[in-house]
């Protein structure tokens, strides 16, 4: 299954809420700062993502989008 999490680094403020709700622990604070000086969230291992979308639901800045591949495609 090819699930995808898109992270808008300019919206991310490094609050870490998405990291704490991820059941597969695939998110981490990265080493690259955005234009506002925040070290934004990035994926550790995209292949472990189950596309539950908990990260996108909890993000107060709407910085994450989750896409799930439909079965049979």
pLDDT per position as a tens digit, 33-50: 999 999 999 999 999 999
In 3D space, the residue among 42, 37, 32 whose CA is nearest the CA of residue 63 turns out to be 42
- Please determine, looking at this structure, whether the domain spanning 4-67 carries the CATH number 2.40.10.120: no
Distance CA 8, CA 20 (A): 18
This prediction's pTM: 0.88
What is the pairing mode between strands 39-43 and 27-33? antiparallel
pLDDT, tens digit, 9 for 90 and up, residues 9-35: 999 999 999 999 999 999 999 999 999
Give the residue ranges of DSSP H helices in the chain: 17-21, 54-58
């Amino acid at each position: 299954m090819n699930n995808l999490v898109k992270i808008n680094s300019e919206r991310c403020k490094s609050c870490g809420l998405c990291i704490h709700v991820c059941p597969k622990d695939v998110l981490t604070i990265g080493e690259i700062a955005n234009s506002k000086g925040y070290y934004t969230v990035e994926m550790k291992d995209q292949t472990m993502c189950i596309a539950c979308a908990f990260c996108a639901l909890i993000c107060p800045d709407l910085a994450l989008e989750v896409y799930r591949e439909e079965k049979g495609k």
